[in-house]
Amino acid sequence: MDCPVCGSDDVEILNSKQKSSKKKIMEEYLIRCESCGHVFKDMFTAKKPEPYRLIISEQDKSHKTTIDLSPSDELKVGDVLLSDLGQVEVTSIEVNDKRVKKSKIEDITTIWASSVEIPARIGFSVDLHGDVDSYKIDLDRDFEIAPGDVVKIEKHIVKVHVIKTQERKLTSGFAKAGVIKRVYSKPVKFNNFDYDLTKDIVKKTNRE
């Protein structure tokens, strides 16, 4: 998209129009050169998206699906795609029974990817003066928990005392679920709470 007059690549797209035929998409751009002010048109054609085989691994399962991609684009390991199961990161590309790091999409047989939207699984302990109710809960990786939060979990209303992350123990500040290992809490006699984690429980155990 360099300026045909002065050769600068400092250009601004003023307008774009899309036309499509059966197999191709044509995009026409109206462009202004920021260096010399020349206004010109440029045209891009791309093949229309087609479905490609996509295998997504998520924790210990894998899902087979397809994803629509433009055959004329290139794909490489590490690229993030938006699949029907959320965002996934490409981990391997199969072209004619061989695994490659990158490829033109039209040559690809199968795309292997892992989900980047796997929830974080954290432990949540409720100290019941000797007994402990221990939960496994799944949360969005960005969900923030802070010491002092008042939380409802099943019949308990508890206050968070300590958060153990991969690196340390927190008694102040906050941590995102993505780095939390376990949250320690104690019941409080409140009726109100900041949030309810009951629906996020995957498993409960009780030990004395």
Does residue 3 belong to the site contacting Zn ion (CB under 5 A)? Answer: yes
CB of residue 32 vs Zn ion: minimum separation in angstroms?
9
Helices and strands in the chain: count of H runs, count of E runs: 0, 21
> Is 171 exposed, middle or buried, given 0-12, 13-18 or 19+ CB atoms closer than 10 A?
exposed
Q: How far is residue 40 from each of residues 18, 32, 122, measured CA to CA in Å?
A: 17, 6, 56
Does residue 14 belong to the site contacting Zn ion (CB under 5 A)? Answer: no
Does residue 38 belong to the site contacting Zn ion (CB under 5 A)? Answer: yes
Q: Calculate the dihedral angle through the C-alpha atoms of 169, 171, 172, 176, rounding to the nearest 10 degrees.
A: 50
Does residue 6 belong to the site contacting Zn ion (CB under 5 A)? Answer: yes
Does residue 80 belong to the site contacting Zn ion (CB under 5 A)? Answer: no
- Spatial separation of the C-alpha atoms in residues 150 and 160, rounded to whole Å: 7
Does residue 32 belong to the site contacting Zn ion (CB under 5 A)? Answer: no
Stretch that binds Zn ion, among 2-10, 23-31, 96-104, 124-132 (CB under 5 A): 2-10
Of 145-184, binders to Zn ion (CB under 5 A) are none
Q: Which two tokens stand for residue 72?
A: 């004329």
Whichever of 14 and 36 has its CB closer to Zn ion, that residue is 36
Q: Exactly one of 2, 25, 32, 35 binds Zn ion (CB under 5 A); which one?
A: 35
Q: Calculate the dihedral angle through the C-alpha atoms of 131, 132, 133, 137, rounding to the nearest 10 degrees.
A: 180
> Is 145 exposed, middle or buried, given 0-12, 13-18 or 19+ CB atoms closer than 10 A?
buried
CB of residue 36 vs Zn ion: minimum separation in angstroms?
3
Whichever of 34 and 73 has its CB closer to Zn ion, that residue is 34
Does residue 36 belong to the site contacting Zn ion (CB under 5 A)? Answer: yes
Residues at the interface with Zn ion (CB under 5 A): 3, 5-6, 8, 33, 35-36, 38
